[in-house]
């Protein structure tokens, strides 16, 4: 049923392109999509299914080679703060257990360990040969006592291939004003937030009880990074920054509401040790393609900055909140997706009174380890409708991304707790 | 001016419904029992002024429907912070609010900045508007009440 519908949908494109008809030969779908692709809008040939309804605030997730899905919840349920989902024959999964009595965001599986973060600490759980957690109640405390303020509390994590752990410590401030988010309040000189936050810290992935001061401030001037991933192809960390809010609210004479809804860009940075991305002193204007001096530090919306701060490698519309970044290395999807980046845009709030945007998974093509060309909306309509996107009252908000062993793409939603799976059936 | 029109509307209501002891300034009782909501509503001109202030200074965080933003900015609906004690609500507007707060089982963290640059009349209007919008129904907050709260300090 699904396959034939897909064939008809593909038919016009194939005929127009004059492509060989045997491209339509219905290879048995590896995993059957849900009717209507679980409400998602996808490129031709892709399908989606709901893996499970967790009912929790599903932040980041990891999928083992056996197909077990580990989901980190922002707030523990009765089952715990990490849910274990076991796969079934249909491609869906069942929540079989949970552990960890803490909320948080980070979830990453590597080298025989499952790493998880609360808003203060990073833990790791030893996995057995089948990638099952050996002692759910006895994790190792890898990093302890990270800086936690009132905002940007997510401690997103990723590992490189050299035994290092990277942890986001978000700035506990919007723009380092004397009075956070207050109209007209200016920036604090030598922003003290940067001493302990507003950057990425590097730790030993096998360390024990490492304090923040024992780690290395790997990159600074990053306001808040929820989505990050290690690019194995060019052996480099990539991060997605949540740009600053409220230019109009704070400096109404310099920025009208429409301008404020379009500034600054949500930026992708390729990060090397010692880099400074410039928060809170600058923001990136996606129309001018320039780093602008922040109004809190003497800017007026017109003064550009060309100095020590790194440039983004890609820029996206303002306020869409990139909450996950994933370099795709699978073979299920067509070749153009390989080594490109998927980005989960959680969706905006700070564009109001302009219509909200986001609530989709984007694809950023890459070539030679660098973004190549504009991004594409890959999986859309998590919100449920155009009206729900505009109002911001979205049904689902994409927050985490993970690649399954077969190359399918898992997406978590921290609003209703739905876990989606996107497959390609050529 | 605003206050006197409010007073008039409230007095009319009291007379019409013969509600005992529901003074215009001290109407703390929940107005749910009123048969016609419009009868007890603050004057349209006052609500219009409040809406204008809301759009300019509140909407970007609390949103057009007053529902706030998940995990960040608290909703203004179904919460005692809005419907309850008027002085506490007024103080939040005057001095801001920097506590992690739980409403309807959800946690909200973003700092609300002080809005002490608003005039007493703007505050009374926007607070009255918020208490009578998004499904809320609560008594008006007068300019005199705002003045008294501001004079009392935090």
pLDDT digits (tens, 9 = 90+) for A344-357: 999 999 999 999 99
Distance between CA atoms of residues A300 and A178, nearest Å: 18
Q: What is the per-residue pLDDT for B154?
A: 62
Q: Is A222 inside a domain boundary?
A: yes
How does pLDDT run across A365-396, given as a tens digit for each residue? 999 999 999 999 999 999 999 999 999 999 99
Assess whether pLDDT exceeds 80 at residue A17: no
Q: What is the DSSP letter of A8?
A: H
CATH 1.10.760.10 at B2-20+39-152, yes or no: yes
Is the same domain home to A45 and A25?
Answer: no
Whether A353 has its CB under 8 Å from any CB of chain B: the answer is: yes
Contacts of A349 in chain B (CB under 8 A): 61, 63, 69, 72-73
CB pairs under 8 A between A and B: 58
Residue B130's alpha-carbon distances to A118, B52, B133, in angstroms, are 36, 11, 5
A211 lies in some domain: no
Q: Which residue has the tokens 């809170």?
A: A280
Q: Report pLDDT for B11.
A: 37
**Which B residues 55-84 touch A at CB under 8 Å?**
55, 57, 59-61, 63-65, 67, 69-73
* Number of domains chain A contains: 2
Is residue A213 one of the residues assigned to a domain? no
- Distance from chain centroid for Cα A30: 26
Same domain, A149 and A25: no
For residue A348, the domain's CATH number is: 2.120.10.30
Q: Spell A247-273 as b/e; 16+ CB within 10 A means b.
A: bbbbbeeebebebbbbbbbbbbbbbee
Q: How many CB atoms lie within 10 A of CB B72?
A: 16
Output helix, strand, coil percentages for chain B, rounded to the nearest 5: 50, 5, 45
Across the interface, whether the CB atoms of A181 and B113 are under 8 A apart is answered yes
Same domain? A3 vs A56: no
Question: A19 lies in a domain?
Answer: yes
Residues A371 and A264 in one domain: yes
Per-residue pLDDT of B110-122, as tens digits, reads: 999 999 999 999 9
In the structure, what pLDDT confidence band is assigned to residue B19 with cuts at 50, 70 and 90? Answer: very low
A159 and A15 assigned to the same domain: no
pLDDT level of residue A425 (50, 70, 90 thresholds): confident
Mean pLDDT of B54-71: 94
CA distance A167 to A145: 12
> Are A391 and B96 in contact (CB < 8 Å)?
no
A14 and A106 assigned to the same domain: no
If pLDDT is split at 50, 70 and 90, which confidence band does B40 have? Answer: low
Lowest-confidence segment of A1-10, A85-94, A193-202 by average pLDDT:
A1-10
A408 domain-assigned: yes
pLDDT over 90 (residue B39): no
* Same domain membership, residue A91 and residue A19: no
Task: Classify residue A212: in a domain, yes or no.
Answer: no
Give the nearest partner residue to B111 out of A181, A350, A353, using CB atoms: A181
Residue A305 belongs to what H/E stretch?
strand A304-305
Instruction: Tell me, yes or no, whether A80 and A173 share the same domain.
Output: yes
Selection from A23, A47, A27, A43 nearest residue A35 by Cα: A47
Residues A224-242, mean pLDDT to the nearest whole number: 96
pLDDT digits (tens, 9 = 90+) for A401-424: 999 999 999 999 999 999 999 999
Same domain, A165 and A106: yes
Q: Tell me the average pLDDT of chain A.
A: 93
The residue segments making up the domain with residue A3 are: 1-30
Q: What is the ipTM of this complex?
A: 0.82
Distance in angstroms (rounded) separating the CA atoms of residues B9 and A104 = 50
**Interface contact A390, partner B, CB < 8 A:** no
* Residue A16 Cα distances to A4, A12, A332, angstroms: 19, 6, 25
Residue B70 with chain A: CB contacts under 8 Å: 397, 415
């Amino acid at each position: 049923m699904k396959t034939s519908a897909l064939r008809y949908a593909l038919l016009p494109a194939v005929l127009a392109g004059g492509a060989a008809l045997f491209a339509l030969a219905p290879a048995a779908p590896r995993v059957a999509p849900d009717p209507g692709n679980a409400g998602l809008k996808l490129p031709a040939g892709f399908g989606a299914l709901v893996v499970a309804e967790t009912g929790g605030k599903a932040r980041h997730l990891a999928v083992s080679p056996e197909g077990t899905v580990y989901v980190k919840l922002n707030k523990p349920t009765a089952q715990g703060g990490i849910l274990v989902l076991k796969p079934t024959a249909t491609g869906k999964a069942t929540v079989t257990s949970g552990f960890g009595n803490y909320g948080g965001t980070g979830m990453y599986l590597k080298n025989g360990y499952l790493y998880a973060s609360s808003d203060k600490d990073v833990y790791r759980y030893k996995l057995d040969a089948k990638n099952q957690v050996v002692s759910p109640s006895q994790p190792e405390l890898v990093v302890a006592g990270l800086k936690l303020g009132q905002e940007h509390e997510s401690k997103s994590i990723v590992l490189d291939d050299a035994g290092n752990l990277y942890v986001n410590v978000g700035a506990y401030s919007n723009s380092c004003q004397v009075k956070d988010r207050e109209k007209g309040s200016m920036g604090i000189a030598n922003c003290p937030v940067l001493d302990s936050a507003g950057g990425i810290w590097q730790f030993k992935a096998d360390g024990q009880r490492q304090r923040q001061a024992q780690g290395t401030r790997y990159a600074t001037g990053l306001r808040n990074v929820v989505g990050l991933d290690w690019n194995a192809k060019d052996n480099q960390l990539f991060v997605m920054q949540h740009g600053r809010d409220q230019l109009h609210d704070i400096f109404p004479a310099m920025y009208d509401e429409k301008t404020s809804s379009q500034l600054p860009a949500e930026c992708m940075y390729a990060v090397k040790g010692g880099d400074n991305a410039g928060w809170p002193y600058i923001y990136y204007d996606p129309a001018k393609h320039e780093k602008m001096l922040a109004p809190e530090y003497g800017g007026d919306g017109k003064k550009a900055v060309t100095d020590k701060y790194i440039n983004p490698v890609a820029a996206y519309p303002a306020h869409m909140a990139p909450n996950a970044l994933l370099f795709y290395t699978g073979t299920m999807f067509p070749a153009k997706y390989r080594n490109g980046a998927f980005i989960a845009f959680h969706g905006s709030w700070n564009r109001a009174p302009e219509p909200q945007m986001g609530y989709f998974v984007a694809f950023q093509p890459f070539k030679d380890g660098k973004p190549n060309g504009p991004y594409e909306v890959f999986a859309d309509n998590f919100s449920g409708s155009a009206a729900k996107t505009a109002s911001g009252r979205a049904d689902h908000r994409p927050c985490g991304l993970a690649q399954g062993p077969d190359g399918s793409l898992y997406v978590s939603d921290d609003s209703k707790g739905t876990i989606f799976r996107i497959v390609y059936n050529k | 001016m605003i206050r006197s029109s409010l007073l008039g509307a409230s007095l009319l209501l009291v007379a019409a419904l013969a509600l005992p002891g529901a003074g215009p300034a001290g109407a703390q009782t929940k107005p749910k029992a009123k048969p016609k909501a419009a009868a007890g509503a603050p004057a349209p001109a006052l609500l219009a002024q409040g809406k204008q202030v809301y759009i300019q200074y509140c909407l970007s965080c609390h949103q057009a429907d007053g529902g706030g933003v998940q995990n960040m900015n608290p909703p203004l609906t179904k919460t005692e912070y809005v419907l309850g004690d008027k002085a506490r609500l007024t103080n939040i507007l005057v001095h801001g609010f920097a506590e992690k707060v739980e409403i309807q089982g959800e946690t909200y963290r973003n700092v609300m900045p002080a809005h002490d640059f608003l005039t007493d009349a703007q505050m009374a209007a926007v607070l009255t508007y918020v208490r009578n919008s998004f499904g809320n129904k609560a008594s008006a907050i007068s300019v005199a009440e705002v003045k008294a709260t501001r004079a009392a300090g935090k």
